[in-house]
Amino acid sequence: MQKLSGKTALITGGSRGIGAAIARRLSAEGASVAVTYVSGEAQAQTVVDGIVLAGGRAMAIHADNRDDAALKAAVERTVAELGGLDILVNNAGIFPTGSIEEVTLEELDRTIAINLRAPVVAAMAAVGHMPEGGRIITIGSNLAVRVPWPGISLYAMSKAGLVGLTKGLARDLGPRGINVNIVHPGSTDTDMNPADGELADPQRSLMAIPRYNEADDVAGLVTWLAGPEGRSVTGAEFTIDGGANI
């Protein structure tokens, strides 16, 4: 029996990589899914078409994480067209690099807007529609916990901030029976960080199990948290990185 039958999920940044894998896994467990995208309309539509072809319900919504109104509209459209909202997955993000001497204030503002502010805005919009048993799951990073190389201060800062947001929301929403958790992926084989890329071996050297995640590995953990087995888990961090942060 599908564990998420009758549920509806919104995944930000769901056109590719981890977000697309999450959309497919949630759908496979019976959820109706909406995915947001910024520039990857064709990729998002491919995800949707694949879900529909497999017998699921899905839709793609253009929404830039920097646009508060667009994020709120994505929530409202999901509710209106798919019949509610039970699961919010804050996945969309960027990976800025550069030492603190090199980064600009514009890059700082963009990182905060996309990686940190947007999950707050999305949660604010979503919780008004979520019933008891709702889930908010945010995709963080193992770099929120440990920073092994220079040049990723802005990214690590933004992902660390999501930990505090998760714990705070868990307290705020616990009385309503809404669970809030964060998943910290490590190196994951996507087009942004391919397992055969020139930077892959240095990343594997940090791992106890020197193997990149597949996007579906992360999606499986998110799906578990979204399902009935995760009902007593809230305010928690889950790291999936092959032991890089041991």
- Active-site position among 155, 183, 190, 239: 155
Closest CA to 20 of 7, 29, 11: 11
Where residue 128 falls (left for φ over 0; alpha for ψ -120 to 50; beta otherwise) is: alpha
DSSP type of residue 87: E
Burial of residue 54 (CB within 10 Å: 0-12, 13-18, 19+) is exposed
Closest CA to 19 of 58, 70, 73, 77: 58
Residue 89 to residue 119: CA distance in whole angstroms: 9
Residue 155 designated active-site: yes
Q: List phi, psi (to 5°) of 64.
A: -85, 130
Residue 118 to residue 120: CA distance in whole angstroms: 5
Q: How far is CA 116 from CA 81, 102, 112, 125, 165, in A?
A: 27, 21, 5, 15, 9
Catalytically annotated residues: 155
